[in-house]
Each structure stands twice: as structure tokens, then as C-alpha cells.
């Protein structure tokens, strides 16, 4: 295996400054989809690189080599993956697997707990009203999608601000933001280095819902006021919930109050940056594929090296090695 397997491991940290610069400059719809997709691709690419590196090291073990009918010595020469690197890759891969399992289990528990709590509460106009003075507002997928507001949050907001807040939460469900958020959480569990991309994606989702709410109520300042009040008064239900008061609220309020930028130069730079991010994602995917091809080629080369002594001895009338008929037939085919 060549140095290709390093590319998917190095690209996630390199994407941080690009994501930080792009997040406030892209349209929220594009940013949500772009950052979520890039986080998933980079996380999958790094996981594939670790898997291939660990497999290359494991294949140097004589027992594994015998199962695959190839020479471990020839395979080691073909792949040139140091054993410590392979061991470290295996340990990181195991850690990522455990992290994904734990994240999925935490989400499942949170999801079931929240829905169980909402099942016993009063519903009003498709919204679950929670008792208590603590201001709470969030949207959760499942059961057709649910929006929960506490009595405390309703008391903080005026009638028009309540309409704006509900429009924001309904936009989360209508635009399938919980799906994007779930993918970002999965990618962050696979590779912690892509979590800044997930954070940028969640910010973009909140901005997307802000814009959808502003379009629905027809008043950007009203949405900005509702978002600011909800953020100052409330708290996030959990890392998995999408709420109007979450994320960097000052930036969201500023974006709602500011006039949309019409400078073509900024649009051109953003387009170039998007092209760069997509190119890095493609590079990561291609590098992982090339590492897989190199591993396969190394195994085939080692299998030919293992077959060579058998064919040579049989050709010169020497005593054959202790191999099965099936092994001899496979060697002849090679």
C-alpha cells in the first residue's frame, strides 16, 4: 500500500478552517447539505483507511496468510505496512466502532425517553405543551414529528413571537433536519475530527429554519426577536434536539436583521471554496479506493508467490509440497 491511505486521515482536520470560513457565507440550504455530506464522506474515508491498514497488518500473520493461500513474506514486501501502524489502526478502528455503538445507544435511549414523556402530555394544535416554568422548546422526529413547548416558554413570548417560534420548529421537521443531524452525529462518532463539520451543519440548519420561518410569517425582525428571547430564556433539551434557541444565536440574529449580501466577489470565493471542499471529499474517496486496490494487488501477488514453489516442483518431477488438490488446481489457474 502506498501513501494513499494517509489522505483520508489528514483531510478531516484540514477541513476545519474551510468550514469555519464557509459557514456564514453559504446559503443555509446548501451549507446544511454540503457540510453533512462532507462530514459523512470524510468519516467514512478515514474509517476505510483504518480498516484497510489494519487488514494489511493482520494479513501478515502466518495463520491468516495460510487461510488466504498466500505468502506472508511476499505480502509484507508488497504492502510495506509496518506492524505498529497496523496495530494502531486496528485500535483506532475498534475505538470508532465502540463510539458509534455508544452514540446509537444514547440516541435510542434519549429518543424513547423523550417520546415517552411527550405521550402523557397535553396536545394543543399539534404541539405538545409541557408543564413547568422552565422555558423549553424543541422539535423531535418520529411519531409523525413532534414539537414541544413548555408553559414557561409560552409565557416568555408574545402571541406573534409564538407563531414565529412554531414556524421555526415546524420548518425543522418539514425540511427533515433531524435526518441531517443524525448523519452528522454518526460521522462525528466515526471520526471526532469531523465534528466541527457537524457543528457547522447544525448552525446551517438553524439558519435554514430561521429563513423558512421568516418567509412564513413575513417578518424577519419578528423571527430574530423570537429566536433571541428563546435563547436567553431557555435551554437545549439535548444534543440531538433541534431548537430555535440553540447554536450561535448572535450570528443568527445578525443574519436575520442584515440585508442579504449582493457582492459577487464573495459569491465567487464561496463557489471556489465549495469546489475545494467537494474536491477534497472526492480525493478522500478515491484515495480509500486506491488503498483497497493496492491491498488486493498485494494479496494476489503473495498468492502467486505461494503457488510458484508448487508449480516449479511439479514441473521438474520433484516431490510436490503437501497441498490439497484444490490448492494445486487454483495455482494452475493462476
Cβ-proximal residues to 199 (8 Å cutoff; 6+ apart), any chain: none
Q: Are 139 and 159 in contact (CB under 8 A)?
A: no
pLDDT band at 222 (very low <50, low <70, confident <90, very high): very high
Rounded Cα distance between 1 and 75, Å, is 10
Cell of 25: 457565507
- Least confident range from 28-32, 106-110, 196-200, 269-273: namely 269-273
Q: Where are the domains of the chain?
A: 3-333
- Least confident range from 158-162, 179-183, 246-250: namely 246-250
pLDDT of residue 165: 92
Nearest alpha carbon to residue 152 among 233, 227, 249:
233
Burial of 289 (0-12, 13-18, 19+ CB in 10 A): middle
Q: What residue spans of the chain are helical by DSSP H?
A: 7-14, 16-22, 28-58, 62-67, 72-79, 83-119, 151-156, 159-174, 177-190, 195-217, 220-233, 249-257, 264-315, 325-333
- Kindly report the length of the chain: 334
What is the pLDDT averaged over residues 70-81?
A: 54
Cell of 300: 494476489
Q: Sheet containing 146-150: which strands, arranged edge to edge?
A: 122-124, 127-130, 146-150, 137-140
Rounded Cα distance between 72 and 14, Å, is 36
Rounded Cα distance between 308 and 286, Å, is 33
pLDDT digits (tens, 9 = 90+) for 128-180: 888 888 888 888 888 778 898 888 888 889 999 999 999 999 999 999 999 99
Instruction: State the pTM of this model.
Output: 0.76
pLDDT band at 328 (very low <50, low <70, confident <90, very high): very low
pLDDT of residue 321: 42
* Higher-scoring residue by pLDDT: 311, 187: 187
pLDDT digits (tens, 9 = 90+) for 21-49: 888 888 899 889 989 988 998 898 888 88
CA distances from 234 to 156, 171, 207, 230 (A): 9, 19, 18, 6
Of 45-59, 64-78, 268-282, where does the model show the most confidence? 45-59
Amino acid at each position: 500500500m502506498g501513501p494513499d491511505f494517509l489522505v483520508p486521515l489528514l483531510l478531516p482536520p484540514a477541513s476545519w478552517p474551510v468550514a469555519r470560513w464557509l459557514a456564514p457565507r453559504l446559503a443555509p440550504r446548501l451549507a446544511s447539505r454540503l457540510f453533512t455530506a462532507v462530514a459523512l464522506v470524510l468519516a467514512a474515508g478515514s474509517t476505510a483507511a483504518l480498516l484497510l491498514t489494519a487488514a494489511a497488518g493482520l494479513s501478515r500473520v502466518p495463520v491468516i496468510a495460510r487461510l488466504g493461500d498466500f505468502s506472508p513474506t511476499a505480502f509484507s514486501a508488497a504492502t510495506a505496512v509496518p506492524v505498529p501502524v497496523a496495530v494502531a489502526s486496528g485500535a483506532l478502528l475498534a475505538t470508532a466502532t465502540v463510539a458509534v455503538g455508544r452514540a446509537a445507544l444514547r440516541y435510542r435511549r434519549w429518543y424513547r425517553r423523550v417520546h415517552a414523556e411527550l405521550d402523557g402530555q397535553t396536545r394543543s394544535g399539534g404541539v405538545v405543551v409541557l408543564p413547568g416554568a422552565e422555558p423549553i422548546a424543541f422539535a423531535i422526529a418520529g411519531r409523525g414529528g413532534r414539537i414541544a413547548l413548555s408553559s414557561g416558554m409560552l409565557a416568555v413570548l408574545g402571541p406573534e413571537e409564538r407563531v414565529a417560534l412554531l414556524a421555526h420548529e415546524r420548518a425543522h421537521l418539514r425540511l427533515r433536519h433531524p435526518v441531517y443531524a443524525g448523519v452528522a452525529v454518526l460521522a462525528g462518532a466515526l471520526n471526532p475530527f469531523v465534528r466541527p463539520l457537524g457543528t457547522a451543519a447544525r448552525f446551517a440548519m438553524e439558519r435554514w429554519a430561521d429563513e423558512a420561518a421568516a418567509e412564513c410569517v413575513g417578518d424577519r425582525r419578528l423571527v430574530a426577536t423570537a429566536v433571541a428571547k428563546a435563547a436567553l430564556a431557555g435551554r437545549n433539551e439535548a444534543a440531538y434536539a433541534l431548537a430555535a434557541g440553540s447554536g450561535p444565536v448572535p450570528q443568527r440574529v445578525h443574519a436575520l436583521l442584515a440585508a442579504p449580501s449582493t457582492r459577487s466577489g464573495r459569491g465567487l470565493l464561496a463557489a471556489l471554496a465549495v469546489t475545494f471542499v467537494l474536491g477534497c471529499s472526492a480525493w478522500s474517496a478515491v484515495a480509500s479506493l486506491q488503498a483497497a486496490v493496492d491491498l488486493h494487488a498485494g494479496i494476489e501477488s503473495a498468492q502467486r508467490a505461494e503457488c510458484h514453489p508448487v508449480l516449479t516442483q511439479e514441473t521438474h518431477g520433484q516431490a510436490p509440497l503437501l497441498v490439497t488438490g484444490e490448492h494445486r488446481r487454483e495455482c494452475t489457474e493462476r
